[in-house]
Chain A
């Protein structure tokens, strides 16, 4: 019973953490006018949950975040972009965490880049013309740079925050 309450509270906190990060991100003006270039702050919450709580929990946090962000600040179209990016990125991160010795940082980079790749593919479908080859170099570069930053922050949080304390 107590464990359930702890788990429920931790999950709820992770979701609110992800939501706050998404909101902060939406207030930061884009400094490069390429669609898809962004920090991906919310990925900190997803990576944190993935390492601290597990795969199922990370999927839950990611999915609830995407739905709530779209309802609160987005549109049906932005939902399609976010959900496809989130699914592909999370699948890649889970897979790499399981089968490779990569650390949080490289996993965050791959997650960020795959998020961009999925969104570019969706953009091609929505626009009815392939934009992948044109935007991919920009997104690979920005995705890897922001992925490193997000990965470093996540690694620090994973190391410093002890969820079982006070139990």
Chain B
């Protein structure tokens, strides 16, 4: 049994190295994101890659976007979508974002919200 296990480990050795390195890369990326994160100041709304609006995270509000296909809510320093006309509703389920560089993308409607730092300058990416 032990021998069989050893042979198995031998067989899958390169596999394990490849898989663990992919996971490691993602974990390192998460750590870097976590360590460098900063509270954002503005929510920048992009439609088709063009910035259409910027809202300060300091003042709460409800903003229809892109002629009403999505509704952005700003509340207590965070931003989230509470309505999307698309069938998947992934952007609604994504929840609140508040740190610089965080984003919610509604792929079907091509609407994005990105959190930026002071003066709208993106320090992270």
- What sequence of 0s and 1s flags, for each residue 114-136 of chain A, a beta carbon within 8 Å of any chain B beta carbon? 00000000010011111101101
CB-CB nearest in chain B for A29: B93
Assess whether A99 is interfacial by the CB under 8 Å rule.
no
Contact (A105, B19) CB under 8 Å given A129-B112, A137-B33: yes
Contact (A127, B110) CB under 8 Å given A133-B125, A141-B27, A144-B23: yes
Contact B23 A105 (CB under 8 A): no
Assess whether A87 is interfacial by the CB under 8 Å rule.
no
Q: How far is the CA of A134 from the CA of B102 in the complex (A)?
A: 7
Contact A126 B107 (CB under 8 A): yes
Secondary structure type dominating chain A contacts: helix
Assess whether B90 is interfacial by the CB under 8 Å rule.
yes
Q: How far is the CA of A147 from the CA of B46 in the complex (A)?
A: 33
Contact B90 A30 (CB under 8 A): yes
Interface size range on A against B = 20 to 34
Q: How far is the CA of A35 from the CA of B26 in the complex (A)?
A: 17
A137-167 contacts to B (CB < 8 Å): 137-138, 140-141, 143-145, 147-148
Name the distance in Å between A155's Cβ and chain B's nearest Cβ. 10
B residues in contact with A77, CB < 8 Å: 107-108
Contact (A103, B107) CB under 8 Å given A34-B94, A128-B49, A144-B26: no
CB-CB nearest in chain B for A107: B15
Q: How far is the CA of A148 from the CA of B19 in the complex (A)?
A: 8
Set B25, B50, B105: member contacting A131, Cβ < 8 A: B105
Interchain residue pairs A-B with the least CB separation, the first 9? A128-B49, A33-B93, A137-B29, A140-B26, A106-B15, A141-B26, A33-B94, A144-B22, A106-B18
User: 25 A-B contacts, Cβ less than 8 Å apart?
Assistant: A30-B93, A34-B90, A35-B90, A35-B107, A100-B14, A103-B11, A105-B12, A105-B15, A106-B18, A109-B18, A110-B22, A123-B107, A127-B48, A127-B105, A127-B107, A129-B46, A129-B49, A131-B105, A133-B125, A134-B125, A137-B26, A137-B30, A143-B22, A144-B19, A144-B23
